[in-house]
Amino acid sequence: MNNLAITIIQSNLLWENPEGNLEHFDQLLKEVPSGTDLVLFPETFNTGFPVDPLKFAETPDGPTLNWLRTKAQELHAVVCGTMLLNVDGHYHNSLVWMRPDSSYELYHKRHTFAIGGEKEPIESGTESLIVTLNGWKIKPMVCYDIRFPIWARNQYLDGTFDYDLGIFLANFPSSRIFVWDTLLMARAIENQAYFIGVNRIGDDPEGVHYNGDSQVISPKGEVLANTEPDIEAILSYTLDYEKLQIFRSKFPVGRDWDGAVTQTSQIRLDCHVAPQSSAPRNDGRLSIFSDEYYMRQAFKEAELALKAEEIPIGAVVVCNDKIIARAHNQTEMLNDVTAHAEMLAITAAANALGAKYLDECTLYVTLEPCPMCAGALEHAHIGKVVYAAEDPKNGFSKYGNMLHPKTKLVTGVMKEECLALLTDFFKKKR
């Protein structure tokens, strides 16, 4: 197995100045040693944190992502940083994993820092990302994620670990740097993996000071390399794969780890290789995602419908803990009485799976389906339906159970909120 040469760019960030930041990083990148496999930037390296996403979020064809593409080509290395991204109208703090061949992966920050102003319309991501580079399995995460051990947790199954290197790209303030140091070390020890933390320096206009403290931690919890505080630094280090293997085999704690999984991790490979087998991994192990969690996602879709002056009903379809389709009512926009959230979600889910039957899937919808949608769900052999509010007037249940006999049904999740959205809408219409 190859070693992995990484370079950390610990830098100041110019506030709300993408052009200035990219120019500054252009200069810093001149010092990256050749042979580097992976170059890492602090969180929101093009704008600082947090800024107004409506003003600063770029689309995937915007200047910052294109700049990352160019840099990856020039450096013959993967470059990795986070930015506010607008993906089809959904705003995220997105980590971009840009390869030299211009292919890339996105990880939308799971734990948005609402306490610090990272809130609506920025949405939390729902999927973790594991990528491979030089044969290393790498799990990149963002800043506040460091406080959530279940999200970061490694898995050991049949002699293999889910990942070998964990990364946090951050804007972590100096006032809480003790937390950063402690948790970075803890994440490395508890997951038997190398960890890298990349943090910014300087001050932002809100008076928050950042002192850097970027570092590389060994699977034993030792600090292998770190930057001087409060200065811009280019820190390069080569991670040794053999040392990791030896440590894991001499001290095989992984075998004793508890078996709960967070979600289905999809490993995405270096060069356009198809994702690993999508076999379900929910073999009796726990999932942190509840019906309420997914209903909240359906609720967000309903809110989008409301913004578009459609009847606010939203739906998502989930397969193996992963959202594979999102939709909201679009009868007005499409001029189509069949364009109910459920109908659109069923079609999108079948497209995502490349299969017409959805027996492994759950549909979450904010209102009891009508007979048309219930019929479609029956045809799709949907595994489970969860709806929030009952619809005594137009719901399917007054006709008896129209769903497939094997379909599980759960009702009443987030009932009040979903109903309130509809009631308000109709009040205003009158």
Q: Which of left, alpha, beta for 284 (phi over 0: left; psi -120 to 50: alpha)?
A: left
Find the binding residues for Zn ion in span 130-189 (CB under 5 A). none
DSSP-derived 3-state class of residue 300: helix
In whole angstroms, what is the distance from residue 145 CA to residue 325 CA? 25
Shortest CB 313 distance to Zn ion, Å: 8
- Going residue by residue from 216 to 235, which x/- string records binding to Zn ion, judged by CB under 5 A? --------------------
Number of residues that bind Zn ion (CB under 5 A): 3
Question: What is 56-80 written as a DSSP string?
Answer: H-B-TTSHHHHHHHHHHHHHTSEEE
In whole angstroms, what is the distance from residue 358 CA to residue 319 CA? 9
Q: Which is nearer to Zn ion, 115 or 337 (CB)?
A: 337
Q: Which is nearer to Zn ion, 65 or 389 (CB)?
A: 389
43 is annotated as an active-site residue: yes
The phi and psi torsions of 157 (rounded to 5 degrees) equal -145, 125
Q: Which is nearer to Zn ion, 85 or 315 (CB)?
A: 315
Shortest CB 385 distance to Zn ion, Å: 12
Question: What is 95-134 written as a DSSP string?
Answer: EEEE-TTS-EEEEE-SS--GGGT--TTBPPP----EEEET
Q: Which is nearer to Zn ion, 282 or 338 (CB)?
A: 338
Q: Which amino acid is at 7?
A: T
In whole angstroms, what is the distance from residue 179 CA to residue 344 CA? 45
Find the binding residues for Zn ion in span 308-367 (CB under 5 A). 340
Q: Smallest Cα–Cα separation from 136: which of 18, 249, 1, 259?
A: 1
Shortest CB 345 distance to Zn ion, Å: 11
The one catalytic residue in 43, 118, 123, 342 is: 43
Q: Do the Cβ atoms of 174 and 209 come closer than 8 Å?
A: yes
Q: Which is nearer to Zn ion, 181 or 391 (CB)?
A: 391
In whole angstroms, what is the distance from residue 39 CA to residue 5 CA? 9
Q: Which is nearer to Zn ion, 18 or 369 (CB)?
A: 369
The one catalytic residue in 109, 137, 139, 300 is: 109
Q: Which is nearer to Zn ion, 165 or 370 (CB)?
A: 370
Shortest CB 323 distance to Zn ion, Å: 20
In whole angstroms, what is the distance from residue 206 CA to residue 49 CA? 10
- Asked if residue 413 binds Zn ion (CB under 5 A), the reply is no
| Tokens encoding 38 | 């992976």
Shortest CB 354 distance to Zn ion, Å: 25
Shortest CB 341 distance to Zn ion, Å: 8
The one catalytic residue in 123, 139, 143, 319 is: 143
Shortest CB 373 distance to Zn ion, Å: 3
Q: What stretches of 354-414 show up as alpha helix (H) in DSSP?
A: 371-379
Q: Distances from the Cα of 221 to the Cαs of 152, 218, 247, 302, 426, in angstroms?
A: 16, 5, 12, 45, 58
In whole angstroms, what is the distance from residue 39 CA to residue 95 CA? 13
Find the binding residues for Zn ion in span 362-391 (CB under 5 A). 370, 373
| Tokens encoding 356 | 């017409």
Sheet holding 408-411, edge to edge: 322-328, 314-319, 361-367, 384-389, 408-411
Q: Which is nearer to Zn ion, 233 or 370 (CB)?
A: 370
Shortest CB 342 distance to Zn ion, Å: 5
* Other beta carbons less than 10 A from residue 203's beta carbon: 15
Please count the residues of the chain.
430
Catalytic residues: 43, 109, 143
Question: Which stretches of the chain bind Zn ion, using CB under 5 A?
Answer: 340, 370, 373
